[in-house]
Structure 1
Amino acid sequence: MTGRAHTLLLFGATGDLSRRMLLPSLCALHAEKLVPEDLRIVGTARSEMNDAQFRNFARDALEKFLPAERRGGMADFLNRLSYQQLDVTAPEGYAELAKKAGPGEDLAIFLSTAPSLFKPTIEGLASAGLAGAKDGKGARISLEKPLGSDLASSAAINDAVATAFPENRIFRIDHYLGKETVQNLLALRFANLFFEPLWRSQYIDHVQITVAETVGLESRVDFYDDAGALRDMVQNHMLQLLALVAMEPPGSFDANAVRDEKVKVLRALRPVSADEIVTGQYRGGASAGQIVPGYDEELGRDSDTETFVALKAHVDNWRWRGVPFYLRTGKRLARRVTEIIVQFRQVPHSIFPGAKMKPNRLVIGIQPEENISLTLMAKVPGIDQQGMVLRSVPLDIAMPDAFSGKFKRIAYERLLLDLIEGDQTLFVRRDEVEAQWQWIDAIRETWAREGITPKPYAAGSWGPSAAIALAERDGVSWHE
């Protein structure tokens, strides 16, 4: 934990992320009086605007993307905003930005720009005195993904940032870590005694993690065709979810203690063999009741980029020996859902003759619904001549809005607040990022060596049939 910031500097302030997520999140935090009363928010981008025009821009974004009941004190929030035009590649512009932002000692910087602009931006900030001192005092910086396209490019970005900011002032964002149910996973595991003794290979059969989207390329055409599903989703979001499921109990809820345990999991991941991974690319089909084109039709050219990945991972340590982790993600799938399934083992012996026993299953829903459910075997009410009849029933939390509160928060609310407060617990450390890339790079090397190319699947399906076979040859069915 570092000190509280009193100025927040937003790079890319007129971009799509700012409109949809950052400005609405900050306004919501303001409405709940969670940010310092004297917090100033300075936006910067290439667009030519003055303060009044930026405030009008922000007002339009809030009215479109933030529910009316969460806009309390919007006029006061808009008064926090100011703007300074800047071309980040022009060093001479940073002096004016420094005048607008003020001293770097209590400054938090949110960098939402293309990775190719990170290096000139860092150099400009340092030259204008906005980076603070190298001894750990001074400004902190938050970086949006993508942080590279492989281990080498990621290391180059991290090296560039490290020239001006020490590690305890670098906040790497994975917005999934800001989601309520992802944080609830930590509470579920480490605040409830009855789960921890069972959270190991003796009692867990397998784990599934699914991140399924119904959308196609939308506005991310060039980025996505360069990245693909493996680098866009598995390298960051899905590996972070896996690490939270598999990590050992940290000594405390401290940023380094939590991240120390996550990186141990990432370093324990076994290399994936060619028969443990399936890639796919969607073709035309029906999605959400509409006929949609295939990936190459949307792209306007042929491409071998994967829009679907399913793989079987293993964490080679004592706790998880022999437990497969099945990961699946893709675009134009049958349903939009992000969830974690923890499948427990079957009871060793059934005392109920003829009963169709089903193992207990923990379902952690992350989106679109945030919920946690545990299936149990229970007696069917009534009297039966054949004895006791059992069925699997879900044990749900009965409280309404138990996991999302009275309203569904934007994941960036938690992360922006922690950036302002200086808490790195829900941000990703450099060694985590590099461990993730090392594992992903090995998968891509296997693809190249084995000549693995994406298999076609129809839009609106659950991906290539080979993905079903990947799990079913182990006696496992994907949770759908």
Structure 2
Amino acid sequence: MAEASASEWVNPLYDPGDRRLPRIAGPCALVFFGVSGDLSRKKLLPAVYDLANRGLLPPGFGLVGVARRDYTDAQFAEIVRQDVQAHARTPFREESWKQLVTGIRFVWGDFDDAATFDRLHQTLDELDANEGTNGNHAFYLSVPPKMFEVVVDQLENHGMVDQTKGWKRVVIEKPFGHDLASAKDLYRIVSKAFPPESVFRIDHYLGKETVQNLLALRFANQIFEPFWNNNYVSHVQITMAEDIGIAGRAGYYDGIGAARDVIQNHLLQLMALTAMEEPNSFEPRQLRMEKQKVLAAASTLSDLDLYSARGQYAKGWQGGVEVPGYLQEKGIPADSHTETFAAIRVDIGSRRWAGVPFYLRTAKRMPRRVTEIALMFKRAPHLPFANTETQDLGTNALVLRIQPDEGISMHFGAKVPATGMEIRQVTMDFAYVGSFTESSPEAYERLILDVLLGDPPLFPQQEEVELSWQLLDPVLQHWAEQGAPEPYAAGTWGPQNATDMLARDGFTWRRP
């Protein structure tokens, strides 16, 4: 991996069969419901512009925003321009913008108002006729889960899901329900209007280049496979830590919590990719089958008092600034039991991973922002050194950094120069930014392009969603019976019960 060159890197936005050929979407319109929200303005709209700027969108392309704001098309286009200039990853180019802006439209109204969808239908008909979008429409539901059924029913009632007049696809943002029963209800709601191959569940972590590189690390290199098992790995830690609080999202976050928001989707997907067997190919069905095997074999321990942990951040110091606790955040009830720290132990009943615990944790108000997968290795069975010679020797580890500073590092012992035999922990590091001249595309670029192309490999399917909820539901039910989460000071690495959880197995959390 360290020897890879920029010329060997395959841009995921290009055709894997011929890296010189870009994967250009065909004529289509992309409709964003909830387009005035932060996700749309900071991520989705800039990602669409970046695709256009890279030449990956067709001339026949429409971008339609739907929200309650009473904008004209021109006013909405100016908002999109401002968001693009503020958040796009590629430089702003007038020629790219002029091509994109011709297809930008806005539809105002409430989602439960039939007139809103009459206007949307008229707008899509106009784009089909004047911009050549050919009846191909993708509907991106960047809305609260409670609105999914409303929007889907309106689309169906207004004749906008007819697959005989061009393809129709729907995109759903996580969380995919709030438990197993609601996930099944959501699937029932969506599947009555869209066939399974037209439903795309967005997990933006699966679009990150370093997550994709996990598959390359494992299956393109012979050197890692021999120790990727319980003969050498003592345990695995998968961490997503954020240094921010709820950032004004009280209405969304309270009642959802860290486990539903992150563990059920992001972290269990990372675990499945880490633990899966080699697929016969990266054809979607093969990749999905191997991930499902892992999730089906996974279980939490029955004693959840000992092998799960949750917390809620209290006031503290972050970056030299005093910050409020969760219960002091605007819009949070004073008696809220929503967790902002969640950790669970998962065991995988397979020959490769029997006896290797996987520890998954996520939290807000941590000392730093980091997402990583760390394979922690067993100690050497015999160390022919005095204790004083190895006191600075830590645990061997292979760490995949998902964000920020994407890369891979190995931690091992080496002799300190000019000493007798003193062993110290050292790090061998690979960083994407230092090895490749071309920057990785933003995750939403990759995923939106895949939606427009109808390419499903990176999207979790219903079976994976249900298996994940089967794993997490007992934990959530147990926590609901336990009262308030344990507080931890903002800017620290979490509550004491999380430290105790690993200590019972003789381990400690990594400090990224």
* TM more than 0.5: yes
Cα distance in 2, alignment partners of residues 400 and 309 from structure 1: 31
Asked if structure 2 preserves the Cα contact closer than 8 Å seen for 1:4 and 1:422, the reply is no
Aligned residue identity for 2:416 = V
Cross-structure match for 2:44: 22
Aligned residue identity for 1:231 = R
Asked if structure 2 preserves the Cα contact closer than 8 Å seen for 1:41 and 1:82, the reply is yes
**In the alignment, is residue 295 of structure 1 matched against residue 326 of structure 2?**
yes
Cα distance in 2, alignment partners of residues 246 and 193 from structure 1: 16
How far apart are residue 402 of structure 1 and its match? 3.6
Cα distance in 2, alignment partners of residues 119 and 409 from structure 1: 32
Cross-structure match for 1:436: 468
How far apart are residue 229 of structure 1 and its match? 1.1
Cα distance in 1, alignment partners of residues 228 and 221 from structure 2: 11
Aligned residue identity for 2:471 = W
User: Can you list the C-alpha shifts for 1:331-369, whole angstroms capped at 9, x where unaligned?
Assistant: 111111111111122233345666525543111111222
Asked if structure 2 preserves the Cα contact closer than 8 Å seen for 1:27 and 1:71, the reply is no
**In the alignment, is residue 422 of structure 1 matched against residue 451 of structure 2?**
no
Asked if structure 1 preserves the Cα contact closer than 8 Å seen for 2:315 and 2:323, the reply is yes
Cα distance in 2, alignment partners of residues 359 and 278 from structure 1: 24
Cα distance in 1, alignment partners of residues 250 and 150 from structure 2: 25
Aligned residue identity for 1:95 = D
**In the alignment, is residue 473 of structure 1 matched against residue 504 of structure 2?**
yes
How far apart are residue 28 of structure 1 and its match? 0.9
Could you tell me which of 455, 459, 474 is aligned with 2:490?
Answer: 459
Cα distance in 2, alignment partners of residues 16 and 71 from structure 1: 23
How far apart are residue 7 of structure 1 and its match? 1.8
Cα 1:7/1:248, change in 2 over 3 Å: same
Cross-structure match for 1:366: 402
**What secondary structure is seen at the aligned counterpart in 2 of 1:397?**
strand
**In the alignment, is residue 101 of structure 1 matched against residue 124 of structure 2?**
yes
Asked if structure 1 preserves the Cα contact closer than 8 Å seen for 2:295 and 2:468, the reply is yes
Cross-structure match for 2:12: none
Cα 1:162/1:400, change in 2 over 3 Å: closer
Cross-structure match for 1:158: 187
Cα 1:434/1:70, change in 2 over 3 Å: farther
Identify unmatched segments of 5+ residues in structure 2: 1-14, 16-22, 129-133
How far apart are residue 431 of structure 1 and its match? 0.9
**In the alignment, is residue 285 of structure 1 matched against residue 307 of structure 2?**
no
Aligned residue identity for 1:376 = F
Asked if structure 1 preserves the Cα contact closer than 8 Å seen for 2:345 and 2:357, the reply is yes
Identify unmatched segments of 5+ residues in structure 1: none
Deviates more, 1:188-197 or 1:346-355: 346-355
Could you tell me which of 44, 68, 80 is aligned with 2:103?
Answer: 80
Cross-structure match for 1:39: 61
**What secondary structure is seen at the aligned counterpart in 2 of 1:10?**
strand
Cross-structure match for 2:337: 304
Asked if structure 2 preserves the Cα contact closer than 8 Å seen for 1:43 and 1:84, the reply is yes
Alignment map for 1:48-197 (pairs within 5 Å): 48-66=70-88, 69=91, 73-102=96-125, 105-133=135-163, 138-197=167-226
User: Can you list the C-alpha shifts for 1:268-320, whole angstroms capped at 9, x where unaligned?
Assistant: 11133321011111111101210111111112522121111122211111111
**What secondary structure is seen at the aligned counterpart in 1 of 2:427?**
strand
Aligned residue identity for 1:150 = D
**What secondary structure is seen at the aligned counterpart in 2 of 1:340?**
strand
How far apart are residue 190 of structure 1 and its match? 1.5
How far apart are residue 246 of structure 1 and its match? 0.9
**In the alignment, is residue 201 of structure 1 matched against residue 233 of structure 2?**
no
How far apart are residue 241 of structure 1 and its match? 1.0
User: Can you list the C-alpha shifts for 1:227-275, whole angstroms capped at 9, x where unaligned?
Assistant: 1111111111111111111111111111221111112211211133321
**In the alignment, is residue 377 of structure 1 matched against residue 409 of structure 2?**
no
Cα distance in 2, alignment partners of residues 33 and 96 from structure 1: 30
The number of residue pairs the alignment matches comes to 474
Asked if structure 1 preserves the Cα contact closer than 8 Å seen for 2:41 and 2:80, the reply is yes
**In the alignment, is residue 227 of structure 1 matched against residue 256 of structure 2?**
yes
Alignment map for 1:209-288 (pairs within 5 Å): 209-272=238-301, 273-274=303-304, 275-288=306-319
Cross-structure match for 2:5: none
Cα distance in 2, alignment partners of residues 196 and 130 from structure 1: 48
Cα distance in 1, alignment partners of residues 333 and 319 from structure 2: 22
Aligned residue identity for 1:211 = M
Asked if structure 2 preserves the Cα contact closer than 8 Å seen for 1:279 and 1:453, the reply is no
Give the TM-score normalised by structure 1. 0.92
How far apart are residue 92 of structure 1 and its match? 4.0
Asked if structure 1 preserves the Cα contact closer than 8 Å seen for 2:30 and 2:64, the reply is yes
Cα distance in 2, alignment partners of residues 182 and 115 from structure 1: 26
Deviates more, 1:218-227 or 1:65-74: 65-74
How far apart are residue 463 of structure 1 and its match? 0.8
Asked if structure 2 preserves the Cα contact closer than 8 Å seen for 1:108 and 1:140, the reply is yes
Aligned residue identity for 1:177 = L
Deviates more, 1:218-227 or 1:79-88: 79-88
Asked if structure 2 preserves the Cα contact closer than 8 Å seen for 1:39 and 1:80, the reply is yes
How far apart are residue 87 of structure 1 and its match? 2.7
Cross-structure match for 2:8: none
Aligned residue identity for 2:379 = Q
User: Can you list the C-alpha shifts for 1:107-128, whole angstroms capped at 9, x where unaligned?
Assistant: 2221111222211211222233
Tell me the C-alpha RMSD between the 2 structures: 2.5
How far apart are residue 454 of structure 1 and its match? 0.9
How far apart are residue 93 of structure 1 and its match? 3.5
